[in-house]
Structure 1
Amino acid sequence: MKRFLVAIDGPAGAGKSTVARQVAERLGLTYVDTGAMYRALAWKALRDGVDMEDEEAVAHLAESITFTLEPNGIRVNGIPLKDEIRTPQVSELASAVATMPKVRKILVNKQQEIAASQSVVMDGRDIGTHVLPNADVKIFLTASIDERARRRYKELTAKGIPADLEALQEQIRRRDENDRNRAYAPLRQAEDAILVDTTNQSVQEVIEVILQHCRNKLGGEE
């Protein structure tokens, strides 16, 4: 069977990672969490004391990193990372790193290399528009800012990470603005992407909607 590529885009907190991971599992495809790659890069830069305003330095670090994607996390140069890349501080830094054109080009190349040899479900901000413009199925997930902040608050507190709901709402607003207004590969819905608003839908409902679109495509019905 030829490669089957699924692109899932959307703003922060729309549920991309949760949904994409389960869609990939149900279809037997490889899940690629591109957001985790930016977060892991931000975590590594922070740990190594790299100047986050020096694009050349961050790009050099990105080039040198070996990312290994796993079902429930990511490894950076062999170091397993999970909750440490989900803190508010790392989220802020990842958003800043993601606006750097040189950094994005490096990580996009790494993402395209992953998808060049296998079928994937890849989620992020610019997958359908930039990373995998020829994806077989493109989904754009969204939800209200209040709902996205509530989900992130619940996720963080469940892991024992202190969080403030109002601060999360403001953080998500800023991240949306950064993602939509960056010069290189901004967040936007691809013309051929299917819009799915998850505000009033359960995770399983969203998964079933996406799976149906994938099955239709695989069955040649579209």
Structure 2
Amino acid sequence: MSRSSRVPTSVPALVVAVDGPSGSGKSSVSRAVARRFGLRYLDTGAMYRALTWWCLDQAVDLADQGAVVRAMDAMPLVMGTDPAAPSVFVGAVDVGEPIRQTRVSERVSAVATNLDVRARMRDLQRRLIGEAEAGVVAEGRDITTVVAPDADVRVLLTATEQARLERRTRELHGHAEQDAVESTRDQVVRRDRDDSTVSQFVTAADGVHTIDSSAMGFEEVVDALSALVTRVTGREPAVESR
């Protein structure tokens, strides 16, 4: 496999927007597609998680929406968009692992459903997308409809609830035995229910392509999204797949 992922500067920036519910595989798939096409990678969900972590660290009441907005304005967030090694820093603190912990996962919806926070996040996410010279694969829950509705390729990546639960359980516990699946259910199902009150990520909007990954392996999903990007834009991967 070629290691080159350089995109000629004469090639216009390519923006791929990927939305989907928890456990649909959008993060890992988006990273892989970004590497294939020589693009940056933006995990917008990690931005909401980082703000949740910051509020908890600063003892900000998540129910006080104004206080959360002020906390966001003060948060020194730095998003690393290299798909080979994406990072999330708050000041000098690497929060890549802490923001995936249960205490954040259980409370992030309180931040993500704050409409003033979402408006600020939208502006920040658009700025980060615009700063990616070659382009970016941005993934989240409202990228195709709110943050980047004019993206070159817009995709809803979905899967059945059971498939999503099993994937997230394997991610958290290393296996998908029934007791572990049930312990993970709240993080997946409740968060999707809460977040769906402020963003649409269950049904594809007009012009948004749907990829159902329920019966697909990881590489199959990456291939499907890559093929869609090529079909829609004519852009070939900068890095050959294995």
TM-score normalised by the chain length of structure 2: 0.84
Specify which of 106, 124, 140 is matched with residue 140 of structure 2.
Answer: 124
Unaligned 5+ residue runs, structure 2? 1-10, 236-242
Equivalent position to 2:159, from 143, 151, 157: 143
Aligned to 1:212: 227
Q: Are residue 67 (structure 1) and residue 77 (structure 2) matched?
A: yes
Alpha carbons 1:62, 1:107 under 8 Å: kept? no
What is the number of residues matched between the two proteins?
216
**Does residue 55 in structure 1 map to residue 65 in structure 2?**
yes
- 2:194 maps to 178
Compute the displacement of 1:49 (Å): 0.7
Tell me how large the CA RMSD over aligned residues is: 1.9
Per the TM alignment, residue 145 of structure 1 is displaced from its structure 2 partner at its CA by 1.6
More helix by share: 1
Corresponding position of 1:111: 125
Which letter does structure 1 place at the counterpart of 2:171? E
Aligned: 1:96 with 2:110: yes
TM-score (norm 1): 0.91
1:20 paired residue number: 30
Q: What is the Cα deviation at residue 105 of structure 1?
A: 0.7
Alignment partner of 1:8 is 2:22: no
Q: CA deviation at 1:83?
A: 2.1
1:155 aligns with 2:168: no
Instruction: State the match for 2:90 in structure 1.
Output: 76
- CA distance in structure 1 between the aligned counterparts of 2:51 and 2:147, rounded to whole angstroms: 18
Name the SS for the 2:79 alignment partner: strand
3-state SS of the aligned residue for 1:168?
A: helix
Deviates more, 1:41-50 or 1:86-95: 86-95
Deviation at 1:148, TM superposition (A): 1.2
User: Match for residue 165 of structure 1?
Assistant: 181
Identity of aligned residues (%): 36
Deviation at 1:44, TM superposition (A): 1.1
Distance (Å, rounded) in 1 between the aligned partners of 2:181 and 2:131: 41
Structure 1, unaligned runs of 5 or more? none
One-letter amino acid of the counterpart of residue 231, structure 2: N
Bigger radius of gyration: 2
